[in-house]
Amino acid sequence: MGKKLMPQEVIDLIDSKADLIVPIANGEPIRLLDILEENAEQLDGVRIHQMLALRSRSYIQGDIEQLRHVSYFLSGATRKVYQQAKMELVPNNFHEVPRLLRKTTKMSMILTVASPMDEHGYFTLGTQADYIAEFIGKVPFILEVNDQMPRTFGRNQIHISQIAGYVEHHAALSEEKVMEVSDKDLLIASSIIQDIQDGDTLQIGIGSVPNAVISMLKDHRHLGIHTEMLPDGVAKLVAAGAVDGTRKFTNPGKIVATFAFGSKNLYDFIDNNPAVEFLPVSVVNDPREIAKEKNIVSINSTTEVDLFGQCASETVGGKYYSSSGGQVDFARGVRFAENGKGYICMPSTAKDDTLSRIKLQLAPGSVVTTGKNDVDHIVTEYGVARLHGVSISERARRLAAIAHPKFREELLFDAKKHGFLI
């Protein structure tokens, strides 16, 4: 039976050469990681595995030799460290992370934030399920109980008998900085909105374009949500009567996500809300599960696209910025769905319109996230290029047509010169 732990008792539970798993975003346990850093001299060769670390720490910077950070998705806290070759980054598709952890680590312990225990002895993982929920009852957990963490529903309940112990640390959750919606974002969103029908199920990514899409959906009806990250605007769509999930093919009537990250309004919306269910990422992002939603629409973003339709969504100017996340999971899932549609969005230019994001070739060092065989639609403020099942020659023409007008002639000239056009 799990008990409240003193710092030394936490350290005593960590074996030499342990692999510790920390969840994404607000699942990151501030106090537990403080304890590890403060008592690092008692540890030996411990690796901490995590996606999207929220806070820069001494061990992430490589300043504590007994603790090493292993990333599965870069963030502001880890990006420069990786670019300085001071930490490891493991390539992955989001739905496969639990399998990768099981295969390549000892799975020694999971450290996570949880909402307070209820009268039945259950904590919840709150804003989380992600890559840790499926290990409940199978891997030891140490919880950091936070009374600011919302109590939520889904496959993220953990009983006190299933934990090695807990500490308490009560603090406000981190909130996502709301990205301002630009005129370009609204133009991109307007092209996508034309293809969203009443009753469709949506996967909406993070960023200003998804925010713009959400702002235009209030007059739709019977929409469903099946998404990896639950964004802020979903609460507004529920209030407007646009989202009820009644036409979903899986989990009807439920808003399904694997984690939530947004404002306090979002956290208040999911608190004790049985309409929202957090499921493991191995379920939410599995292309086979996504495909069961016959009318699913996936909306994500990228940084540049070449004339094959290859999307570099995790590098910027050839330097690593993030990782693949779930973009490929949903690109493949919508492909298998009966009426699935996938949209990858971006402004047509960068650097004050001096650089086209649609290019003959990706910038040197860029990494392909969504490949040419999986891409469906590319969207800029100049329209939609429908690419699936389209020849390379026609792709080049369609992509040039949605590039910024001042780059179109050059793109077509280069495409002809390099044998893209026939």
Q: Which two tokens stand for residue 402?
A: 């949605």
CA torsion angle for 249, 254, 258, 261 (degrees, to 10)?
Answer: 130
- Give the whole-angstrom CA distance, residue 404 versus residue 55: 37
Question: Residues of 345-361 as b/e, b for ≥16 C-beta within 10 angstroms?
Answer: bbbbbeeeeeebbbbbe
Instruction: Calculate Rg over the CA atoms of the chain.
Output: 22
Residues 6+ positions from 21 with CB-CB distance below 8 Å: 48, 49, 50, 101, 105, 107, 109, 110, 111, 131, 132, 135, 139
Q: Which of 96, 134, 228, 304 is catalytic?
A: 228
Tell me if residue 228 is catalytic: yes
- Give the whole-angstrom CA distance, residue 398 versus residue 379: 11
- Give the whole-angstrom CA distance, residue 161 versus residue 339: 44
If you count them, how many residues does the chain have?
A: 422
- Give the whole-angstrom CA distance, residue 276 versus residue 126: 11
Residue 55 carries which side chain, given as an amino acid letter? R
- Please classify residue 328 by burial: count the beta carbons closer than 10 Å to its beta carbon, then call 0-12 exposed, 13-18 middle and 19+ buried: buried
Q: Which residues are catalytic?
A: 228
